[in-house]
Structure 1
Amino acid sequence: MSSSTTARTTRRRGLRVAAAALVATAGLTLTACSGADATGVKSEGSTGSSSVPESSGAGPSTGAQGTDAQPDNAKSGSGGGASSRAGSGGASSPRAGSGNGAAKGGGKGKFCRANELMMEAVDSSPDSDTGDVTVQMTNKGARTCSVTGFAGVDLKDADGTSAPVHRGGEQPRITNLKSGDTATFSISYTVDSSGDSLASPTNIIVTPPNETHSVSLKWPADALKLAGPYDEKIKVHPVGIAN
């Protein structure tokens, strides 16, 4: 073999060795880089699992605050049904027996109580064909009070039964009583001229307007005989100031 051939062969072997060395070096470098990247990914993943983003962590807290921080009117809305029932029983009876037929403007809280009034029933029939009994109410208390409206009136019969007297159609007027003043109301009725009346009243049960306590008054002994039974032929009229 010539010297030139030997030299070429030697160069080729050197190039192969250098190439192999370069490949080995490149492999080590790639391995090292791969290890670093893998470590970085693992480190980032670990950090991410331990520090949850604020937006995801705030979700339950925000929800709890939303539940607790409801407006007061929203919280209390379920209990408002009861206030809506306060006006359900305001209708007044068409008869006078309830004693609550006051006209507007009588003055809330200023109504005369039964124990503040001295009452008496007297016959006031103008003639033998017209029956009328007047109930007088005198304020014996120290304060001014109101008897505006219709008094409640029931007639008690000799057989122990009682019946309410219906109201007339008049409009009540404001009736205030100073101490010592007197107001009246009347009970009008059809007079019995046949002698066959089924009514024999003994007492008048009077409940002043806007009052719940009643007073029993004697039916006037000299009053004309009323035609019974107790029905629409008997009327009670609103309270007014005595002339």
Structure 2
Amino acid sequence: MRVHKLTFAALAVAAGLSLTACQSGNDDAAGGQSDPSSTSTSTSTSTPSSATGSSGSSGSSGSSGSTGSGTAGGSGTATGSNANAKVGKCRTADLKITAQDNTIDGDTDGTVVVTFTNDSGKDCTISGYAGVDLQTNAGTTSAQRTGQAATSAVLKNGKSTYFPISYPINNTGGSGVRITGLVVTPPDETNSVTLAWPGAASLPVSDSAGTPVKVGPVGSAGQGG
């Protein structure tokens, strides 16, 4: 009987040890499962930082990543905007407009050269024909375009461009049609300026239809001619 009791006791001890080892193994397994959970949380927390870094990297390498594109486009957009911006048209208020006589002795027609000087503080574009009207004691005479091809040009701030007005000289000996003023309207504008007429005092009287006064396109006359 003692032998059997000892055997049962030994079995009980062994069973207890086995149960303890099993519980310990389960606890270790449970402890091992908490690590991935912790790592996943850490990864999730760091993901925004990682994503931002990735965008920054792709941007610096010239990729089209949103952050990189926005950052790289900061100065790029401004530069591109300046480079590609359209230069506005020259307006009447942008221009200092003057006129001077440029008739050459011996010519059958007189010539007045009108100067457009850009004093707006910025560049502007100008092209085409200006509107030209001569005020006279017999009414207004509008100049006719010569038909010469017009070119477009950027008129830099502080720079000038010119166009000619030609008209018949009054050699009849009579008083003719007296010119009292010159009205100039820049191309593509509706606002005009009135200048003193610098040319001959009068036009010959003519019964022919049309106007004897001609105007060339802007840029078709050099300074003083």
Shorter-chain TM-score: which interval? 0.5 to 0.7
- Aligned match of 2:36: none
Contact map agreement 2:179 2:202 (CA 8 A) in 1 = no
CA 1:163 to 1:108, structure 2 compared with 1: closer, same or farther past 3 Å?
A: farther
Contact map agreement 1:131 1:226 (CA 8 A) in 2 = no
- Aligned match of 1:191: 169
- Aligned match of 2:127: 148
- Structure 2: state its 5+ residue gaps: 1-84
TM-score, normalisation: structure 1: 0.50
- Aligned match of 2:136: 157
Identify the match of residue 173 of structure 1 among 139, 146, 151. Answer: 151
Q: Distance in 1 between matches of 2:201 and 2:119?
A: 30
Q: Distance in 2 between matches of 1:203 and 1:232?
A: 16
Q: Distance in 2 between matches of 1:157 and 1:218?
A: 12
Identify the match of residue 234 of structure 1 among 193, 210, 213. Answer: 213
Contact map agreement 1:153 1:204 (CA 8 A) in 2 = yes
- Aligned match of 1:125: 103
Residue-by-residue CA offset, 1:174-202 (whole Å, 9 max, x unaligned): 13211111111111112121123532111
Please give the residue correspondences for 1:32-181 in structure 2 after superposition, counting only pairs within 5 Å. Answer: 110-128=88-106, 129-158=108-137, 161-181=139-159
- Residue 125 of structure 1 aligns to a residue whose secondary structure is coil
**Consecutive aligned runs of 4 or more in structure 1 exceeding 4 Å deviation:** none
Q: Distance in 1 between matches of 2:152 and 2:145?
A: 17
- Residue 115 of structure 1 aligns to a residue whose secondary structure is helix
CA 1:144 to 1:197, structure 2 compared with 1: closer, same or farther past 3 Å?
A: same
Query: 1:228 Cα shift?
Result: 3.5
Query: 1:121 Cα shift?
Result: 1.1
Which one has the largest radius of gyration?
Answer: 1
Q: How many residues matched?
A: 135
CA 1:175 to 1:109, structure 2 compared with 1: closer, same or farther past 3 Å?
A: closer
CA 1:181 to 1:171, structure 2 compared with 1: closer, same or farther past 3 Å?
A: same
The amino acid of 1:209's aligned partner reads P
Contact map agreement 1:125 1:224 (CA 8 A) in 2 = no
TM-score, normalisation: structure 2: 0.54
Residue 200 of structure 1 pairs with residue 165 of structure 2: no
- Structure 1: state its 5+ residue gaps: 1-106
CA 1:158 to 1:205, structure 2 compared with 1: closer, same or farther past 3 Å?
A: same
Q: Structure 1 or 2: larger strand share?
A: 2
Query: 1:227 Cα shift?
Result: 2.4
RMSD of the TM alignment (CA)? Answer: 2.4
Identify the match of residue 223 of structure 1 among 165, 182, 200. Answer: 200
- Residue 152 of structure 2 aligns to a residue whose secondary structure is coil
CA 1:175 to 1:186, structure 2 compared with 1: closer, same or farther past 3 Å?
A: same
CA 1:198 to 1:231, structure 2 compared with 1: closer, same or farther past 3 Å?
A: farther
Q: Distance in 2 between matches of 1:232 and 1:157?
A: 13
Q: Distance in 2 between matches of 1:197 and 1:113?
A: 37
Q: Distance in 2 between matches of 1:204 and 1:149?
A: 19
Residue-by-residue CA offset, 1:105-144 (whole Å, 9 max, x unaligned): xx98721111111111110011243311111110011111
